[in-house]
Structure 1
Amino acid sequence: MTKSAPVSSALAPSATEADGLPWIEDAGKIAPRDARQLSKVFFDQLQVLEEGTHEYQYARNTLIEMNLSLVRFAANRFRHRGSGEMEDIIQVGTIGLIKAIDRFDLSREVEFTTFAVPYIVGEIKRFFRDTSWAVHVPRRLQELRVEIAKGKERLAVTLDRDPTVAELAGHLNLTEEEVIEGIVASNGYTAGSLDMPSDAADGQTPKNGRTFADVLGEPDPAMQTVEDLHALAPLIQQLDGRERRIVEMRFGEELTQSQIGEQLGISQMHVSRLLARILKRLRTGMLVED
Structure 2
Amino acid sequence: MPTSTTNELKCEIWQLLREYQLSRSETVRNQLVQLNFGLVRKEAHYWMNQCRENYDDLVQVGCLGLIRAIERFEISKGHAFSSFAIPYIRGEIQHYLRDKGVTVRIPRRYLALQQRAIGISRSLRVKYNRQPTDAELADALEISIEEWQDIKLAWVNRAPLSLDVPVQDGEEGSTSLGELVPDHHYRSFQLAQEDQIRLQQALFQLEQRTREVLECVFLHDLTQKQVAEHLGISVVTVSRRVKKGLDLLKHLMCTADD
TM-score (structure 1 length as normaliser): 0.38
Give the structure with the larger helix fraction: 2
Of the two structures, which has the highest relative contact order with CA contacts closer than 8 Å and spacing of 6 or more?
A: 2
